[in-house]
Amino acid sequence: MRYVNDVSLPGMTYVAVARSSVPHARIRSIDTSVAASQPGVIGVFTAKDLQVSTYGRSVRDVSVLADDKVRYVGERVAAVVAESRVAAEAAAELVEVTYDELPAVFTAEEAIAPGAPTVHDAPWAYPRAFITEEQGQNRQSVVEEGSLEAVEEALQKSAFVVDETYTTSAIHQGYLEPQACVADVEPSGKVRLWLTNKSPYILRSQIADCLGIEADSIEVQPIALGGDFGGKGSPEEAPLCVALARLVGRPTKMVLRYTEDLLSTDARHPARIYVRIGCDTDGNITAWSQDALLDGGAYGGFKPAPTVSIHGALEPGGYRIPAFYSRSVIAYTNTVPKGHMRAPGAPQATFATESAMDELALKVGLEPADLRYRNLLRTGEADVNGREWIEFRGQETLDAALAALRIREDAPAGWASGVGISVYSRTTPTSTSSSMRLVPMPDGRLSCEIGVIETGTGSHTVARELLAKGLAMLPEDIDVVQVSTDELPTDPGAGGSRVTASLAMVADQAIKAWRARLEDEPVLVVVDEKGGPPVGSYGVQIAQVAVDPETGQVKVLEILSTVDVAEIINEKSHQMQIDGGAAMGFGYACLEDLDESDGQVWSANLGDFKLPSSRDVPDFKTVLVRGGRGVGTANVKNIGETTTPPTAAAIANAVADAVGARIRDLPIRAERVLALIEAAP
């Protein structure tokens, strides 16, 4: 396995950057003279040296190096190119920047308040901006669905209403391979690029637009990725490294220190979600409103879309809701730019709405599972948007979860035990635009060339097994190789729980073309599938916790994940997505928090930003509810993002069950639980 940091080219130079120490300021001056005179330094560069525009995956609002203004602590201000990484880093410390500090906004609430300082003067003017001037200052996106009037009216008539606000913290994807880039510009202008990026085909135009070159002059090289989870989709440091490679005429390499990843990449949005759910005397939902305000940080361009879906359990239209309203506002603030992370939007929303469902059950006097059961959609019903689905299997999945539950009896003496449930379902993408080439090898083996990068999810194994089955070959006789972006026409990249479904669609075409070929020569297929009716995979989680009433400490004993599945291509890879997803949900619920305040990240290393270790994680149990109907001829449902979103609510609901403390703010830390226990009447 070769990762970006393992790439070494002749004549390599090393890049380190000086980063802003203040959250919001005009740059008065930058003195690079001391840095430039250090041994081993080739050059020190600022925005005025670069011929670039702003960049991004969606909205093009990110500066390669800060121009006149910095907008968050950690923003790139100047770049050092040196003969070694150590020399570059040492010199970057010596860049002297003088700032005229500006008033700043550190939370989404502050940002949207009337008269707030503006992070960007005219954010609607950036290419591909998602907002208009009329929508107000400091907005990255505003998305509204449903009818607020209908909800207000229905809530008035509801027998029971829950009306609460929930908050979630900013967390990092926590991949263990820091972001890195190697750029080489040939005399012809051709750019060879090795980047920790999971969407190489789409990446090219994002970089090309920024540098003012042709997308097809950039060849993104195949490379292994040391974890992604949504964090490795943007152009990252590539525009800078390519621009610097052109300036110094040698290849450049930049590897972030992990603190830089935490400070400056694309953490999950923290959110404040105001939830109102009403029901009748029997517990039938009458109205549902979710109003979310998310902190998008200083730039929106690290996200593949300027929005996140806050639909939570509603992603596939999970519950039957007569009156529905949803609003999500992402604000610009002077904090770390936020991005997408495993099921973007859903962990925040599911924590809020699935906690609220338990609070509603308490009011109605129903068991939490019963309230959910009676409101889950059945196959044939339409979702809140009136769409038909292939099937809904929420009730079957919930039944299977309850049947498999075994109450734990290993809570420490004197601790209270609790059980909590949470439901989520995620849509399986039914469209793709991808390609694959099958190449016969002289020894009878088959080489399969794909554009999909192996992010660690087992996608190459899935491709091998799909082809082996379709061509009646042994998997070991098929080599799956990721090729450079010059070698294939297109691929959508990893993400959105799409890889298996997408691979299945393109493999299906490749198998047909291979069988129909007349000569023993390579077969190339390009698929542009628009997709049929959607389907979701339900994930019902039941958490069991023990809570120390003296200290508020929460020990999560077990997470039982019950998952609605169709065909499974590789059982082990599928299971590891379930376990790894639940572990990440546990970290979000109980441990992780970037701890941003006053524009600073206080958990700026992996000692303070606490990822779950092998000793922290609970026992993971799984029940697969087989027999579902998936998409495509391979009949698959997504899995990579199904088990992360429901975990936090399941644990919070279990804590409430154990000690009556209703946690409405993540993460669930002992001091929060203890304060609630002590405040209880």
Binding site for other proteins (CB under 8 A): 1-3, 5-6, 86, 173-178, 224-229, 255, 257-259, 454-458, 572-573, 575-576, 579-584, 605-607, 611, 613-617, 620
Please tell me the distance from the alpha carbon of residue 317 to that of residue 327, in angstroms, as a whole number.
Answer: 16
Of the candidates 610, 596, 612, 603, the one whose C-alpha atom is nearest the C-alpha of residue 644 is 612
Minimum distance from residue 145 beta carbon to other proteins (Å) = 33
What is the chain's Cα-based Rg?
25
The rounded Cα 334 to chain-centroid distance in angstroms is 21
Question: Closer to other proteins at the Cβ: 224 or 248?
Answer: 224
Beta-bridged to residue 194, according to DSSP, are: 182
DSSP string, 329-385: EEE--SSPPEE--SSTTHHHHHHHHHHHHHHHHHHHT--HHHHHHHHB--TT---TT
Question: Closer to other proteins at the Cβ: 8 or 188?
Answer: 8
Minimum distance from residue 458 beta carbon to other proteins (Å) = 7
Minimum distance from residue 253 beta carbon to other proteins (Å) = 13
The helix (run of H) or strand (run of E) holding residue 527 is strand 523-529
Minimum distance from residue 432 beta carbon to other proteins (Å) = 23
222: amino acid identity, one letter: P
Beta-bridged to residue 8, according to DSSP, are: none
Q: 3-class SS at 537?
A: strand
Contact 195, 220 (CB under 8 A): yes
Please tell me the distance from the alpha carbon of residue 250 to that of residue 252, in angstroms, as a whole number.
Answer: 6
Question: Closer to other proteins at the Cβ: 188 or 614?
Answer: 614
Taking each continuous run of H as one helix and of E as one strand, the counts in the chain are 15, 27
Q: Which residue has the tokens 């993540």?
A: 666
Minimum distance from residue 304 beta carbon to other proteins (Å) = 20
DSSP string, 101-152: E-----SHHHHHSTTPPPSSS-GGGSTT-S--GGG-TTEEEEEEEE-HHHHH
The CA-atom distances, in angstroms, between 54 and each of 127, 239, 511, 557, 625 are 9, 10, 42, 48, 47
Question: Closer to other proteins at the Cβ: 5 or 500?
Answer: 5
Backbone angles phi, psi at 674, to 5 degrees: -65, -45
Minimum distance from residue 615 beta carbon to other proteins (Å) = 4
Q: Which residue has the tokens 């970290």?
A: 587
Please tell me the distance from the alpha carbon of residue 657 to that of residue 655, in angstroms, as a whole number.
Answer: 5
Question: Closer to other proteins at the Cβ: 449 or 592?
Answer: 592
Q: Which residues in 10-27 are b (16+ Cβ under 10 Å) and which e?
A: eebbbbbbbbbebbbbeb
Question: Closer to other proteins at the Cβ: 6 or 216?
Answer: 6
Question: Closer to other proteins at the Cβ: 218 or 557?
Answer: 557
Angle at 605 between CA 604 and CA 606, to 5 degrees: 135
Minimum distance from residue 4 beta carbon to other proteins (Å) = 11
Please tell me the distance from the alpha carbon of residue 179 to that of residue 188, in angstroms, as a whole number.
Answer: 27
Minimum distance from residue 257 beta carbon to other proteins (Å) = 5
Question: Closer to other proteins at the Cβ: 265 or 328?
Answer: 265
Contact 239, 254 (CB under 8 A): no
Question: Closer to other proteins at the Cβ: 232 or 269?
Answer: 232
The helix (run of H) or strand (run of E) holding residue 397 is helix 394-404
Question: Closer to other proteins at the Cβ: 348 or 644?
Answer: 644
Please tell me the distance from the alpha carbon of residue 54 to that of residue 649, in angstroms, as a whole number.
Answer: 39
Question: Closer to other proteins at the Cβ: 74 or 470?
Answer: 74
Minimum distance from residue 650 beta carbon to other proteins (Å) = 15
Question: Closer to other proteins at the Cβ: 23 or 178?
Answer: 178
Backbone angles phi, psi at 620, to 5 degrees: -105, 125
Minimum distance from residue 463 beta carbon to other proteins (Å) = 16
Question: Closer to other proteins at the Cβ: 3 or 274?
Answer: 3
Minimum distance from residue 487 beta carbon to other proteins (Å) = 23
Minimum distance from residue 261 beta carbon to other proteins (Å) = 9
Can the peptide bond before residue 316 be classed as cis, meaning omega within 30 degrees of 0? no
Minimum distance from residue 540 beta carbon to other proteins (Å) = 18
Question: Closer to other proteins at the Cβ: 226 or 296?
Answer: 226
Contact 397, 562 (CB under 8 A): yes
Minimum distance from residue 587 beta carbon to other proteins (Å) = 9
